[in-house]
Structure 1
Amino acid sequence: MKYALVTGGSRGIGKAICLQLAQDSEYHILINYNTNKEAALETLNAIAALGGKASLLPFDVTNYESVKSALDQWKANNDNGVIEVLVNNAGITKDQLFLWLSPNDWSQVINTSVNGFYNVTHNLIQDMLLNKFGRIINMVSVSGLKGTPGQVNYSAAKGAVIAATKALAQEVAKKNITVNAVAPGFIKSDMTSHLDEKELRKTIPAHRFGDPEEVAHLVSFLASKKASYITGETISINGGIY
Structure 2
Amino acid sequence: MPPKIEPSLAEQKNMVLTGASRGIGHATVKLFSDAGWRIITCSRQRFDSDLCPWNSGADDHVEVDLSDYRALPGAIAEIKERLGGLPLHALINNAGLSPKNDEGGRLTSLTTPVDTWMSVFHVNFLAPILLARGLFDELNDGAGTVVNVTSIAGSRVHPFAGTAYATSKAALACLTREMAHDFAPYGIRVNAIAPGEIKTDILSPETEAMLVPVIPMRRIGTPDEVAKVIYFLCSDAASYVTGEEIKINGGQHV
TM-score by length of 1: 0.88
Within 2, Cα distance between the matches of 1:67 and 1:76?
14
For residue 239 of structure 1, what is the aligned residue in structure 2?
250
For structure 2, the residue ranges without an aligned partner over 5 or more in a row are 1-8, 100-105
Larger-gyration structure (1/2) = 2
What's the secondary structure of 2:39's corresponding residue? strand
For residue 76 of structure 2, what is the aligned residue in structure 1?
71
Indicate the larger mover: 187-196 or 10-19: 187-196
For residue 147 of structure 2, what is the aligned residue in structure 1?
137
For residue 179 of structure 2, what is the aligned residue in structure 1?
168
For residue 103 of structure 2, what is the aligned residue in structure 1?
none
Which has more helix, going by share of residues? Answer: 1
Q: Over residues 62-109 of structure 1, what are the superposed CA-to-partner deviations in whole Å (9 max), with x where a residue is unaligned?
A: 333322212213423543322221000000112323322222332222
Does structure 1 retain, via aligned residues, the 8 Å contact 2:149–2:193?
yes
Within 1, Cα distance between the matches of 2:151 and 2:115?
21
Counterpart code for 1:81: L
Within 1, Cα distance between the matches of 2:69 and 2:155?
27
Indicate the larger mover: 149-158 or 14-23: 149-158
What's the secondary structure of 2:63's corresponding residue? coil
Spell out structure 1 runs of 4+ moving beyond 4 A: none
TM-score by length of 2: 0.84
For residue 127 of structure 1, what is the aligned residue in structure 2?
138
Q: 1:205 to 1:228 in 2, by over 3 A?
A: same
Within 2, Cα distance between the matches of 1:65 and 1:159?
24
Within 1, Cα distance between the matches of 2:247 and 2:45?
29
For structure 1, the residue ranges without an aligned partner over 5 or more in a row are none
Q: CA deviation at 1:128?
A: 2.0
Q: 1:185 to 1:78 in 2, by over 3 A?
A: closer
Counterpart code for 1:75: K
Does structure 2 retain, via aligned residues, the 8 Å contact 1:31–1:44?
no
Counterpart code for 1:199: M
For residue 40 of structure 2, what is the aligned residue in structure 1?
30
Within 1, Cα distance between the matches of 2:223 and 2:130?
25
Within 1, Cα distance between the matches of 2:203 and 2:183?
34
* Count of matched residue positions in the alignment of Structure 1 and Structure 2: 233
